[in-house]
Chain A
Amino acid sequence: MPTTLRNEAAIAGIGQTKYSKNSGVSELSLATEAVRAAILDAGLQPSDVDGLVTFTMDSSDEVEVARNVGIGEMTMFSQINYGGGAAVGLVHQAVMAVATGSAKNVVVYRALNGRSGQRMGQGVSGQIITSDLIHWSWYMPFGLLTPASWIALQAQLYMHQYGATSEHLAHVAITQRAHAQNNPNAAMCGRPMTMDDYMASRLICEPLRLFDCCQEDDGGCALLITSPERAKDGPHPPAIIRGVTQASFTGQEQMTSFYRPDLASLPEMELAAKIVYEQAGLGPDDIDATCFYDAFTPEVLMQLEAFGFCGRGEAKDFVTEDSLSVNGRLPNNTHGGLLSEAYIHGVNNIAEGARLIRGSSPNQPAKVDHVLVTSGVGVPTGALILGKP
């Protein structure tokens, strides 16, 4: 039995649907398409798959997907909570299963009609009183109804405390928009953005402007995770998982951890950083590219600090359009990210991490040995590091 998850599993297959504003098909249809594509991309057949993992927020249950895709016997299936915070958690589940022999080939997936179907931030209501419903009730009556409003409260304080400005946030958005121009599956492909465009975008929840916020999209994305040995036989170079963890911190709430001493930091991300660096035996200097969860631009600044790429409050000096671009110190979200590729709840950011290791990113930097990928910010979350075989 392994004592660490280091190098115990690899991403061997990537599957995705077209990302759009109106898929015209069911979420289950998107899920099955992405899952099947991931299996075939790994050079496997549906009957080889014995584990499935998705989000609790996903509407396509594991057995529904299995029946459609032709997956038969399964020995492991689970769902991870907390919205975008789940993305890395899916991989964590799969790696634990593969490392312990609970399953051999696990597909993790997320598929949603995020624009044409149920949109985010429409408020929470319901008849059954759960702890989650009570949690939201401390915010909904006051009109704090959307992810943008919750993150804006933290961003305001962060910017006030460290002197970050809209221009600093703009660098994140503009760089990722530029990346999307080379990614035909990005929603923002063909729509480049200048600083003037960014500054002209309307205020959503101050200090957040429209272009500080990610999009809403329809689409599905899936990853096949297996052992490094089996992955070697596949058609693509595997992305070895050097380290992976979930992370929740003292006083954690879902999006509203407003009661901790320092709201201008991300302690759950600092916890994730500590664990994945330790597992991988690596540090920030070893990371060549990142796929930081980017539902909102300030999250990227705060993660740069949490993962040690710069000191506390120094992200504003670290980020320029150059530093985060293909030839910069830390190419970030080279596919466009949630901001400019699509909002597939962060699973598409993990897929890009695997492409960067394969060498097949639409914006492939010269040297990529290690990629850091994170999931949701402001929620119980996680991080992983991918490396070459």
Chain B
Amino acid sequence: MNEEQKKAFEAELRAYVGKAIGPPVVARDPVNLPMIRQWCDAMGETHPAYSDEGAGETLHGQVVAPPTMLQAWIMEGWAMHEGYDEPRDEQHRLHKLLTEAGYTGVLGTNTEEHYDRYLKLGDVVTAVTTIDEISEEKATGAGIGYFVTTRTVFEDQEGESLGWMSFRVLKFKPPAGQQAAASGDEAAISTAPTRMKPPAGHDNAWWWQKIADEDVLPIQRCADCQKLRHPPRPMCDACGSQRFDSVAASGRGTVHTFTVIHYPQVPGYDYPLVSIIVDLEEGERMVSTLVDCKPEDCRIGLPVAVVIHEDEDGFKIPFFRPAG
């Protein structure tokens, strides 16, 4: 995003502040004893005020609901989980806007609640949620992002206030390599889709580093007899020298042979994957991937040119595409 795009994006964000996310939500059930009992069981709450056995002896004189149940009365159940891809309300739309701009991560940060009175059996709760605040862009431990705060106001059947709740989330750009984990998609977390990286050893790390630093395709060269060799290895098989440097390949070559890989499909790669062996103009051969070409258009003898590809996590790797 350039500065102007950023400005426009932030203006679009700001337009959400003050908006109700949708029409008022009315509780599916009036305040009732079974839900109170289950909630107390789950929480380990044993105060007599919330039980039909002991409530008569308390100052309420009847069963009341635990105040912290306030939001529970208007929760939508599983349906809350849906709607982030096809937004059903303004909150979803706001999240989608941020997600599409790269702020794919979401992290609940804090909540604050205020209660006006105890709820009694038969009370019907209605809630209105508005988007209360969107912060400036912040750099956080999780990544760069925006804090979005919603405020939910609860009322009873008479329109009298029962309390309010604020809820703050961070929508952020996960650092490279953590995209899947931060998206919250469990399937994505377990597969951690990144390309297999080469281990960095004495005999190969320099080659990958040169690609990363200089955007060139290096070919190892014996510093004594000048013979080229690929893949890199420590000794020249012609003269026995272990001294080497490298030359930048022209990047031009032809496909010596290829395969189109359909199975197995390993996370981190795009399928069908066209794998090639390239005869480089300099005379060396190397294995790579053909991009910008339909699998059916790949053929033995196809002229190709190098393209230094950069993965989302910043890893650079030399691919080839059809030349000219």
Contacts and interface: CB of A to CB of B under 8 A. Distances in A.
A144 B275 contact: yes
Given A156-B257, A156-B259, A202-B262, 9 more contacts: A126-B199, A131-B203, A138-B286, A141-B197, A142-B288, A143-B289, A149-B259, A156-B300, A203-B262
B127 to A, nearest CB: 51
A145 to B, nearest CB: 6
Interface of B: 195-201, 203-204, 230-231, 256-264, 266, 269, 273, 275, 277, 284-289, 295, 300, 317
Contacts of A135: 231
A176 interface: no
Interface string A205-241: 1111000000000000000000000000000000000
Contacts of B261: 143-144, 149, 152, 204-206
A137 interface: yes
A121 B201 contact: no
B231 A138 contact: yes
Contacts of B317: 141-142
A146 B264 contact: yes
Interface of A: 121, 123, 125-126, 129, 131, 133-135, 137-146, 149, 152-154, 156-157, 160, 202-208, 256, 258-259, 263
Contacts of B199: 125-126, 129, 133-134, 137
A206 B201 CA distance: 33
Contacts of A131: 203
Contacts of A157: 256-257, 300
> Which of A121, A146, A156 is the most central at the interface, judged by chain B CB atoms within 10 Å of its CB?
A156
A380 to B, nearest CB: 17
B263 A202 contact: yes
Given A156-B300, A202-B262, A141 B196 contact: yes
Contacts of B285: 258-259
Contacts of A202: 262-263
Contacts of B295: 206
Contacts of B201: 129, 133-134
Given A153-B277, A156-B257, A156-B259, A144 B196 contact: no
A158 to B, nearest CB: 9
Contact of B262 (A126, A138, A139, A204): A204
Contacts of A129: 199-201
A202 B260 CA distance: 13
Given A134-B201, A259-B285, A143 B260 contact: no
A145 B275 CA distance: 11
B262 A143 contact: no
A145 B204 contact: no
Given A202-B263, A204-B262, A154 B257 contact: yes
Given A138-B231, A143-B269, A146-B264, A123 B196 contact: yes
A156 B295 CA distance: 14
> Which of B197, B201, B275 is the most central at the interface, judged by chain A CB atoms within 10 Å of its CB?
B275
Given A202-B262, A203-B262, A138 B257 contact: no
A123 B260 contact: no
Contacts of B260: 203, 205-206
B289 A206 contact: no
A125 B287 contact: no
27 contacts: A123-B266, A125-B199, A133-B201, A134-B198, A134-B199, A134-B201, A141-B195, A142-B287, A143-B266, A143-B275, A143-B289, A145-B264, A146-B264, A149-B259, A149-B275, A152-B259, A153-B257, A156-B300, A202-B262, A202-B263, A204-B261, A204-B262, A206-B260, A258-B285, A258-B287, A259-B284, A259-B285
A137 B256 CA distance: 20
A202 B284 CA distance: 34
Contacts of A133: 199, 201
A263 B196 contact: no
Contacts of B231: 135, 138
Contacts of B262: 202-206
A313 to B, nearest CB: 15
Given A121-B264, A203-B260, A259 B230 contact: yes
A339 to B, nearest CB: 17
Contacts of A146: 264
A205 B269 contact: no
A206 B286 CA distance: 19
